[in-house]
Structures are given as C-alpha cells and as structure tokens.
A and B are shown apart, each in its own frame.
Chain A
Amino acid sequence: MGNGELAGAIETMARFVATLLDTEGVFVAGELDAPTLSQLSASAQLFEAEMKKKLHVLDNPDLPVLGASLRAIRMHINQIQWERS
C-alpha cells in the first residue's frame, strides 16, 4: 500500500470510527506499524474533539489469536450443563 493510499485508508477509517463515538468510547487495536499508528493518531486529531478524548490505540499482533481462544472459551462456557439435574 503506497503512502498516499494508506493515508486515504486511515482517514476513511478514522471517519468510520468517528461515527461510533455517539456512545462512551472507542478502542482501536491492531497490527499497526509505527508510521501507521502516527498517521492514525494524526487523522484522529483532525476529527471532533470527542475523538481525541475517546480514541485509544493498542498495538498487539496477537489479538486475533487471543480472541480466537476467547471464542473457544465462550463456546465451552455455553456448553456447560449449568442447571442441576
């Protein structure tokens, strides 16, 4: 992805994120390299003041793996026979 294309993508995503700001906050987590993180932060600052307060950036490439294990945990919990027989 070229720099201009990435910048456009980040800006579009930031606009998308901004549409979610009608509740209590937004976390952004992902596999982002340093230039992308800095572009995202810069884009975020261009939007409403709300976004500055509510956007949190996490950077952890293992999140999908951890989330997949969480799906397995949730499936297990839902399959437990909870009621007394």
Chain B
Amino acid sequence: MNQQDQKQRNREQVLSLLRSVPRISQVEIAERSRLQPSTTSNLIRILKERGIVASMGKRDSGPQGGKKAEILGLRGEYGHFGGIYLKEDEIIFGVVDFGGCIVARKSISVSNEKDDFLMATIAAEVEANVRRYPTYRGTGIAVSSVVNLNGEITESLYFNRTIPRIISEIRLRVPELPVVVDNDANCAADWVLVNQADGSRNLVHLQVQGLSLTGGSIEALLGQRGSFYKTEQPWGTGSSRAR
C-alpha cells in the first residue's frame, strides 16, 4: 500500500468511527483505530478545518477530575447526499445529511411506465433535491445486478440499458453533480457496516424481492473493508465468491 492509499484508509477509518460512535473523543479514536496519536490529531485538525468534524462539547471528568475530553462529531450540515434505489416495481429516493440522518424519503411505483418517463422523473427528482438542499454534493444509485470477482457490476438490465441514460439525464439537468452506481446488496451491507457494526465484523445483506433472493456482503477484518461479493439466486448453481 502506498502512502496515499494509507492516508485514505486512515481518513476512512476515522470518519467511520465518528459515524458509528456519535460522541467520541480524539483519544478514543486513536485507541480504537490503532493510529498514532499524532496521526489522529493531524487528521482531526484537517477534518475540522474542512468543516467536516466539529466539537460537540466536553465530556465530564471522572471522579479523579482531570482535563475534560473534547467530544467530536460529524457536522450533519456539511453536506447532503442522495440515494436512489431502482427496484423492479418501485424507485425509492432518499436524502441523508453528512451525519447519516435521513432527511427526506420518497418512493414512486413504476409498473408500466415508459423508460423515457422514468428517466425524466428520476432526473427531475435529483434536480429538485439539488435546489432544495444547497449543500447537495452527490447521488448514489443502488441497482440490482451481478458483480464480478472484484465486486464490479458486470451485467444488469438497468446497468446495461438504463443506467447510462439515467446518468445522462441527470447530467443534463445538474452537469457537475457526481453520480456513483453500485450493487444494491453491497450498498446495504456497507451502510450497516459503517453505521451499526464496529468495523470488525463480516456482514451479509439478503434481499427478498418478488421471486428472487439475493445477497451481497462485505468482509471486514479489524476495521479494514475487504472484498465485496454477491450471490445471485443462492439456491441455484451456487455462489460466486471474490477474494
């Protein structure tokens, strides 16, 4: 791992801790992440300068007294981010703040609508959210799909035919908006890993939808995110696993 990758991993680790442990001190971040205190201190300083992390007050000192520890937290108002989940019969839109709180949710049924109408609807909803939330910084799209051994989407009705057109429609309305697409089960698993697990557990996401049951998972060891993989119709010919 080069120095740049290591720095990125350190940042992700600290941000993940700040997300999953709402009231945490710098000392606790260093202890849990096993980063050097000086590295942690430097990262926290940069995150504060960027407006990503803020002081949330001081923790009461214990019975022995001593210096009160500063409590740190993610600044929810730093930015808003959209999520779109494309299902066979429904499209779900969500907006979360940087702290991970969902601030808006909307779903529309999509039984017999034409593709063009759906794409325009999706793009219009994204554009409306960009106008509604001045700090809207990007949108992710979760899509049911098959992934290859590297966790990359390889085949999907939406991905091959619809996703590029949806992205084009969004870009027409909001040219600079970053858009990222990923597998639905892996998205779900990643959210739980970052927000509800302690970063040292494996995680599986199961999706029961219509006639199919699919799963995606993320392997995590000692706080390090590992390979993504997904099984498709696990009762069928067996699962594919990536390492």
Contact = CB atoms under 8 A, between A and B. Distances in A.
Interface residues of A, number: 47
Contacts of B231: 13, 16
B167 interface: no
B67 interface: no
A11 to B, nearest CB: 8
A43 to B, nearest CB: 11
Pairs of residues from A and B, 8 with the lowest C-beta to C-beta distance, nearest first: A67-B187, A68-B140, A69-B83, A68-B83, A63-B188, A72-B138, A71-B140, A67-B191
Interface residues of B, number: 68
Given A68-B139, A74-B12, A82-B11, 6 more contacts: A1-B208, A25-B197, A62-B94, A63-B188, A65-B85, A66-B83
A19 to B, nearest CB: 9
B84 interface: yes
Interface string A8-35: 1110110011001101111111111100
Interface in B173-215: 178-180, 182, 184-197, 200-213, 215
Given A9-B234, A16-B215, A69 B140 contact: yes
A37 B85 CA distance: 22
Contacts of B100: 66, 70
B92 interface: yes
Given A63-B205, A66-B96, A76 B188 contact: no
A65 B142 contact: yes
Contacts of B140: 67-72, 75
Interface of B: 7-8, 11-12, 15, 46, 50, 79, 81-85, 92-96, 98, 100, 102, 105, 137-142, 178-180, 182, 184-197, 200-213, 215, 217, 219, 221, 231, 234-235, 239
Contact of B141 (A1, A33, A68): A68
A69 B82 contact: yes
B207 A31 contact: yes
A32 B208 contact: yes
A58 B197 CA distance: 12
Interface of A: 1, 5-6, 8-10, 12-13, 16-17, 20-21, 23-33, 36, 40, 58, 61-80, 82
Contacts of B209: 31
Contact of A8 (B137, B188, B235): B235
Contact of B83 (A21, A30, A67, A79): A67
